[in-house]
Structure 1
Amino acid sequence: MKRVIFSAVTGIAAIAMAPGAQAATFPVGSANFTATPGPNGSVAGAFFNTGIAAGAFSDTFTFTLPVNGFGSGTVTTSTNFVGSPNDLDFTSVLINNTAASITRLSSGAYEFAFANLVPITAGQLNTITVTGLSRGNGAYGGQASFIPSVVPEPSTWALMFVGFALVGGAARFRRRSTNVVYA
């Protein structure tokens, strides 16, 4: 009976002393998340975290864009030796709750996650969430790109309708003026 109680107390103490999950949020413009606007409404961004203490972690990068479009990105990590203090394993990488594909190379020494053409909604808080397990001094880095959806402006729609009307009118006029003569 004493062994059972001792084992239970030891187990509870181990759980209580275990490091809790670390959570961090980085808005665009912070030291860990930068974005650069480009031509035609495109945006290129870079995000990272370094010195991640041992244990589970969850980092969320937040951003808002003025127009709807699509985002793509990659996140990578590497280590000298699997299980060393700078080893880090991805549990998941999500862009607006869309899971990125995670690939592990060299028995997990190198990991990368990627996603392509994830819908990004204008005016809403969009997120990139990286979760994983660090062995004591983990680090990762990522890049993201955004391109707006191609939606014609109202003047483009109006010009298109005028063009259809002109083509339809020309076809009708041509049909009326054609005279068929039989020999």
Structure 2
Amino acid sequence: MKRIIFSALTGMAAIAVAPAAQAATFPVGSANFTATQGPNGTVSGAFYNTGIAAGTFTDTFTFTLPFNGVGSGTVTTSTNFVGAPNDLDFTSVLINDTAATITRLGNGAFEFAFANMVPIVAGRLNTITVTGLSRGNGAYGGQASFIPSAVPEPATWALMLVGFAMVGATARFRRRSTKVVFA
């Protein structure tokens, strides 16, 4: 009986000592996620997290844009020694549930994730989700860029409508000028 109680207490102590999974959400405009609007609706942003305690973590960066378009970005981390307290490993990086490609160099001392041409939807809460394992004082940083989908200018629409009208007029003219002769 003493062994059972001792085993149960040891198991509970191990659970209590194990690092808990961490989760954080950073909306655009927070200290960890900034964005700058550029010409023609483009947006560039920077996001990061530092001092991540030991254990697994999931950080979500949220943003809403006024235009449909595509986004691209990278996230990087590095350490002096694999397994050091500032070592951090990416488990996944997702942009609107699209997985970024993760590359590890130097046996994992340097890691980066990248994605290109990911659809970004206007008026919807878009997300960048970074998941990983920190060894005690992990940090990473990233940058993202957005380009709105091409929308024709009014002059382009007018030129296109004139072109359709000319095609229609030509088709109508050819139909009228066709003469049928019976033998």
Q: Give the TM interval when normalised to the shorter protein.
A: 0.7 to 0.9
The one-letter amino acid of 1:163's match is G
Q: Which residue of the partner structure matches residue 91 of structure 1?
A: 91
Q: Which residue of the partner structure matches residue 101 of structure 2?
A: 101
Give ranges in structure 1 of 5+ residues lacking alignment: 178-183
Alignment of 1:160-179 (within 5 A): 160-170=160-170, 173=173
Q: Which residue of the partner structure matches residue 181 of structure 1?
A: none
Quote the RMSD (CA, aligned, Å).
2.2
Partner-residue secondary structure (3-state), 2:107: helix
The one-letter amino acid of 2:50's match is T
Q: Which residue of the partner structure matches residue 7 of structure 1?
A: 7
The one-letter amino acid of 2:69's match is G
Q: Which residue of the partner structure matches residue 159 of structure 1?
A: 159
Q: Give the TM-score, by structure 2 length.
A: 0.87
Give ranges in structure 2 of 5+ residues lacking alignment: 178-183
- CA drift at 1:159: 3.3
Separation in structure 2 between the aligned mates of residue 7 and residue 116 of structure 1, nearest angstrom: 51
The one-letter amino acid of 2:104's match is R
Asked if 1:56 is matched to 2:53, the reply is no
Separation in structure 1 between the aligned mates of residue 175 and residue 125 of structure 2, nearest angstrom: 56
Partner-residue secondary structure (3-state), 1:86: coil
Q: Percent identity?
A: 84
Q: Give the TM-score, by structure 1 length.
A: 0.87
Deviations 1:125-145 (A, max 9, x none): 111011111111100000101
Asked if 1:133 is matched to 2:130, the reply is no
Separation in structure 2 between the aligned mates of residue 176 and residue 27 of structure 1, nearest angstrom: 64
Deviations 1:70-116 (A, max 9, x none): 11111000000001010001111111111111111111111111111
Separation in structure 1 between the aligned mates of residue 27 and residue 141 of structure 2, nearest angstrom: 15
The one-letter amino acid of 1:49's match is N
The one-letter amino acid of 1:85's match is P
Separation in structure 1 between the aligned mates of residue 77 and residue 116 of structure 2, nearest angstrom: 19
